[in-house]
Amino acid sequence: MYFNTSKQEKVELGFAGHQCNNGMHMAGLYETEEERDNIILGFFNQGFVNGDINLYCPTERTKEDFIEKFSLRHPHTKDCLHDPNICSFSTTEELYYPEGKFLPWAVDRSLNAFWEESQKNRKVAVRASAEMIWALDKNVDKTKLMAYESRLNYFIPGKAWISICLYNLTRFSGATILQVLQTHPYTIIQSGVITKNPYFINPDIWLKENAPEYLNK
């Protein structure tokens, strides 16, 4: 199924036969490792096939576990996992604590720096994903976390960038998942079913009502 999400290039997502346009921000909701992997392994495999740069922050699993599972399912692209020019693994500290503590502004700057660096030698698309369980492990303030998620809706549009933020439904509260829905234009459920999110709130409105200190300037 094709989701017309922007005026940018149409691309294969790599799971469940879905296509969309670059500049997409999605929440991947899952309950089991199998559901998670049915989304993320195909997503990154398609990125390697396309020649995209792939950024992954595994926190619910080890980097080694991801490499093992990916290699079994996609042996034809497994060597790409070891090419730093197209595959980047990030730790929670590197991605979300670039200045020593979690601040949405700091993560904004970090992602912008990653994007600018990726475009230095050629125009190339970026695929990014993180397992958001780190926020529970680190006891992150939920308002700051969702302000970051909402602000991604300023950062991603207009760029050849697709993000999937992975949320384990067995770990996050219903109240938090509701805010996840409010800050992601699209959701992925049941191993790859994509829906346009009726609960999504424009970041100008969401931030004004919930975290006005993080409104775009």
Please say if the pLDDT value at position 74 is more than 70: yes
Phi, psi at residue 86, to the nearest 5°? -130, -5
Domains of the chain: 10-212 (3.40.50.300)
Q: Name the β-bridge partners of 2.
A: 19
* pLDDT confidence tier of residue 31, bands split at 50, 70 and 90: very high
Predicted local confidence at residue 213, as pLDDT: 93
pLDDT tens digits, 77-110: 999 999 999 999 999 999 998 888 899 999 999 9
* pLDDT confidence tier of residue 11, bands split at 50, 70 and 90: very high
**Inter-residue contact 9 to 22 (CB < 8 Å):** yes
pLDDT tens digits, 129-154: 999 999 998 888 999 999 999 999 99
Q: What does 23-69 look like in DSSP terms, one character per residue?
A: SEEEEEEESSHHHHHHHHHHHHHHHHHHT-EEEEE-SSS-HHHHHHH
Report percent pLDDT > 90 for the chain. Answer: 91
Structure-token match 């576990």, residue found:
65
Predicted local confidence at residue 21, as pLDDT: 96
Average pLDDT over the chain, rounded to an integer = 95
Predicted local confidence at residue 217, as pLDDT: 58
